[in-house]
DNA sequence: GCTCGCGATGGGACTGGGTGTCATCACTTA
DNA sequence: TAAGTGATGACACCCAGTCCCATCGCGAGC
């Protein structure tokens, strides 16, 4: 029946999301996901390394985009400008059609510790992609670390705000606001007097 | 034999660390760990929720310490001072005797993706403990987020430097240096001109 | 048109993490 | 001495994830 029909990955993702929404993540079996997609468990694990991974399909592409955007920035660009470019490069993932999907996904992740853990791993992947790209531009290690954390923080707060049900603001606007906000707080923190005796 | 002997948790942890060092994390079974500790799989899972968790025993206590240290800071203390106090509160965990243990543990975590993922979860726990404590002092949300990330970053780089084989510097010194360094970079990042057109 | 190779799938066996339940044992207290 | 409590053992069970091999559809070459 469904065998040999195209888009196995997408079918699996759709089936998983639907079942997770119906019964929750834990109560859903990989077998059930594969069944609904007209496939088998074997095939599921051929497309996704994990049961978790089915919810994080595009995440690795994001790291690539961030990295590319920073490496494509002008050599004279400030670090903040690089971060802004990175955030902008993620914009294609935030179309209005995906809004409801993102909402649903966020609820799932928030409800399941296992998924939150995986999300942190993906975030760490984004962070090191940014840090590597910044180091490649000559940034020192400490700056690269701090800036990448700041960038990821801006990204995730921007994503969270964008995904809110009542939000109608475009992603790039939110992201720039978040980044500028964090930059201002960083300045304030950095301006505090030295602590040690 | 070993049944009813005290310190089941510690015996399990020791056995796990030894076996992980011998054969690696993946090649070690929970049954084998329990066997070496003179216990059974049931008992292992009664003491640790996870196979991973056996390597992260004291981590939750750290979050408590961080939180307490910040809440105990003077109301007039700057945020950087709060972070410094939090870092200091972790000092008891960094005795010279634990140095080799930490080294071994770090190697294990670095080698196993599953463990890195769990470490990120623990780091996130530390981060939100700090952020909550800062918010309780009246810090706004953005500042709390950024400062807690900065604090955790300082902590983990300090830990990494402390655990290096050739290191002989005490932890608190390393931690303060790391924090001050990050503070300076934050100031530099914050001082960059605004990016948008 | 036939065959052959290739890539994607199915199927089933197997390991091991993790859960649940019940019996058992040591120690305490009445 | 008997009852109660808490930690353990023993066992059955579910499911994620791995492995291996058979099968199928499709295209290339003959």
Predicted confidence band of residue A139 (pLDDT cuts 50, 70, 90) = very high
Kindly state the average pLDDT of the residues A17-27: 97
Whether residue B194 has pLDDT greater than 80 = no
Kindly state the average pLDDT of the residues B144-155: 98
A43 touches strand C (CB under 7 A): yes
Q: Give percent of chain A with pLDDT exceeding 70.
A: 95
More confident residue, A80 or A59: A80
List chain D nucleotides near protein: any atom < 7 Å from a Cβ: 7-11, 15-20, 24-26
* 3-class state of residue B74 by DSSP: coil
Please state, in angstroms and rounded to a whole number, the distance separating the CA atoms of residues A6 and B144. Answer: 47
Q: Please give the pLDDT value at position A4.
A: 59
Predicted confidence band of residue A2 (pLDDT cuts 50, 70, 90) = very low
Sequence-distant (≥ 6) Cβ neighbours of residue B123 within 8 angstroms: A120, B152, B156
Predicted confidence band of residue B4 (pLDDT cuts 50, 70, 90) = low
Give tens-digit pLDDT for B7-35: 899 999 999 999 999 999 999 999 999 99
Q: Please give the pLDDT value at position A58.
A: 85
B6 touches strand C (CB under 7 A): no
DSSP sequence for chain A: --TT-S-HHHHHHHHHHHHHHHH-STT--HHHHHHHTT--HHHHHHH-SSSGGGG-TTHHHHHHHHHHHHHTS-TT--HHHHHHHHHHHTGGG--TTHHHHHHHHHHHHHH-HHHHHHHHHHHHHHHHHHHHHHHHTT--HHHHHHHHHHHHHHHHHHHHHHHSTT--S-HHHHHHHHHHHHHHHHHHHHHSPP---
Give tens-digit pLDDT for A44-76: 999 999 999 999 988 889 999 999 999 999 999
Give tens-digit pLDDT for B85-100: 999 999 999 999 999 9
Residues packed against strand D, CB within 7 Å: A 3-4, 28-31, 41-42, 45, 49-52; B 2-4, 8, 34, 38-43, 46-47
Give tens-digit pLDDT for B154-192: 999 999 999 999 999 999 999 999 999 999 999 999 887
The residue of B84, B159, B185 whose CB has the most chain A CBs within 10 angstroms, and thus the best one to mutate to test that interface, is B185
Give tens-digit pLDDT for A100-138: 999 999 999 999 999 999 999 999 999 999 999 999 999
Q: Please give the pLDDT value at position B191.
A: 83
Query: How close A19 comes to chain B (CA, Å)?
Result: 25
Whether residue A3 has pLDDT greater than 80 = no
Taking an 8 Å cut-off on Cβ atoms, the answer to whether A194 and B180 are in contact is: yes
Token pair listed for A72: 């494509």
């Amino acid at each position: 029946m469904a065998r040999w029909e195209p888009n196995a990955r997408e079918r699996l993702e759709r089936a998983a999301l639907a079942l997770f929404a119906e019964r929750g993540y834990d109560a859903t079996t990989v077998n059930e996901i594969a069944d609904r997609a007209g496939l088998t468990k074997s095939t599921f694990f051929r497309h996704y390394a994990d049961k978790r991974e089915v919810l994080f399909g595009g995440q690795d592409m994001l790291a690539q985009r961030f990295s590319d955007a920073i490496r494509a920035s002008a050599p004279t660009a400030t670090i903040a400008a690089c971060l802004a470019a990175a955030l902008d490069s993620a914009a294609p993932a935030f179309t209005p059609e995906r809004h409801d999907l993102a909402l649903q996904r966020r609820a799932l992740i928030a409800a399941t510790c296992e998924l939150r853990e995986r999300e942190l791993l993906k975030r760490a992947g984004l962070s090191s992609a940014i840090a590597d790209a910044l180091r490649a531009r000559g940034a020192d290690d400490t700056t690269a670390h701090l800036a990448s954390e700041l960038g990821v923080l801006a990204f995730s707060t921007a994503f969270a705000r964008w995904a809110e049900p009542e939000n109608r603001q475009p992603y790039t606007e939110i992201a720039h606001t978040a980044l500028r906000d964090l930059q201002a707080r960083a300045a304030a923190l950095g301006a505090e007097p030295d602590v040690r005796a």
